[in-house]
């Protein structure tokens, strides 16, 4: 099975979704790395007997050193696919070069809308609410050096007409994230995802 490394910064609900749907089935989560020592996602990993590592940027010489240490842990565990599940740091070019087309991220909006630098977490949902959009949904994409600019793997549109707050939009989109991210990770582990430049194709099961 393909060895997966998951990077988190918080509660880890998307991590839990991948654990439930993928771990020990189509893929093996070899390690979970957090940049925050109190991230609840670490407990989720430990409950599933998955090794964890905490790497604090404050303990590193600079951002390059921070990324280098994360790469070192991933390599130590033989990781072949990196999944960003609510990881709130931008990766350096060296990190991306270490895993070309093998880093996936989930963004809580339909790229190319409401994405790029500054669009993360609740900021995305507030912008969508203020704009008055009727549809939103998550996007899973490969990571490159441009924020939210890598090739799109899959998206799921969902109606948000009834959402009366950014928080309601976030809840609606998150439910779809918990389905889409594990599905994409599973397809990659099964060798069904192919990348040619910006074009991503997925073989039918």
Catalytic residues: 107
Cβ-Cβ contacts under 8 Å for 123 (sequence gap 6 or more): none
C-alpha–C-alpha distance, residues 60 and 70, integer Å: 11
C-alpha–C-alpha distance, residues 6 and 8, integer Å: 7
Cis peptide before 80 (omega within 30 of 0): no
Helix extents (H) in the chain: 13-21, 41-47, 63-76, 93-98, 122-131, 166-189
C-alpha–C-alpha distance, residues 165 and 186, integer Å: 32
């Amino acid at each position: 099975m393909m060895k997966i490394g998951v990077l988190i910064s918080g509660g880890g609900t998307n991590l839990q979704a991948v654990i439930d749907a993928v771990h020990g089935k189509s893929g093996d989560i070899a390690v979970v790395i957090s940049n925050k020592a109190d991230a609840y996602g670490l407990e989720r990993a430990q409950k599933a007997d998955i090794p964890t590592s905490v790497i604090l940027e404050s303990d590193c010489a600079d951002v390059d050193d921070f990324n280098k240490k994360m790469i070192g842990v991933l390599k130590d565990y033989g990781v072949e696919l990196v999944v960003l599940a609510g990881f709130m740091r931008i990766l350096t070019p060296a990190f991306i070069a270490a895993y070309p087309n093998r880093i996936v991220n989930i963004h809580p909006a339909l790229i190319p809308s409401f994405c790029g630098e500054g669009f993360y977490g609740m900021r995305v949902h507030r912008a969508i609410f203020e704009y008055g959009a009727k549809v939103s949904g998550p996007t899973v994409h490969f990571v490159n050096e441009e924020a939210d600019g890598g090739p799109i793997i899959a998206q799921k549109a969902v109606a948000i007409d009834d959402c009366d707050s950014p928080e309601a939009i976030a809840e609606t989109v998150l439910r779809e994230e918990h389905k889409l991210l594990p599905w994409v990770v599973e397809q990659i582990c099964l060798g069904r995802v192919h990348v040619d430049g910006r074009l991503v194709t997925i073989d039918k099961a």
